[in-house]
Amino acid sequence: MNATFSRLPTTVRVSQTLKPLYLRFLETQMRHLAGIAPALAAGDTDEARRLAHNVKGAAGTYELPDAAALAAAAEAAIHDGRQEEALAMAATLGGYFAALNVIFVGPQPRNDALAGQPETS
């Protein structure tokens, strides 16, 4: 597995607007990740790949690009028949989501160069 993935950040800053949804997001991703091993054991690579794909998309949407990249790598590993590697990546992601410390931040201040200029639509 890529060494970059073994050093996923444990603390992340994400938009305050995601706060009401974040716990449910994490729970859903844990369910998806937990479903990968049984799907692979049953020979259902399409389902395993779908679950990894869902984690990839959701992680990107919820401002976790490193997790999205690892989920994409797991999806590719499933597609390529590298099941053990995919399982290891799913386990890494599960640990990451379980240990994640999320700091919610408000809107970023406007660039000083734009301050005082009228907004355009």
- The whole domain housing 87 covers 22-105
Range from 2-6, 91-95, 97-101, 102-106 carrying the lowest mean pLDDT: 2-6
Q: Is 89 helix (H, G, I), strand (E, B) or coil?
A: helix
- Indicate whether 60 belongs to any domain: yes
CATH of the domain at 46: 1.20.120
- Indicate whether 64 belongs to any domain: yes
Q: Quote the tokens at residue 57.
A: 């998309």
**In this predicted model, what pLDDT tens digit does every residue of 42-66 receive, in sequence order?**
999 999 999 999 999 999 999 999 9
Q: In percent, how much of the chain has pLDDT > 70?
A: 83
- Indicate whether 42 belongs to any domain: yes
- Indicate whether 12 belongs to any domain: no
- Indicate whether 117 belongs to any domain: no
Number of domains the chain is built from: 1
Which of 62, 71, 68, 82 is CA-nearest to residue 22? Answer: 62
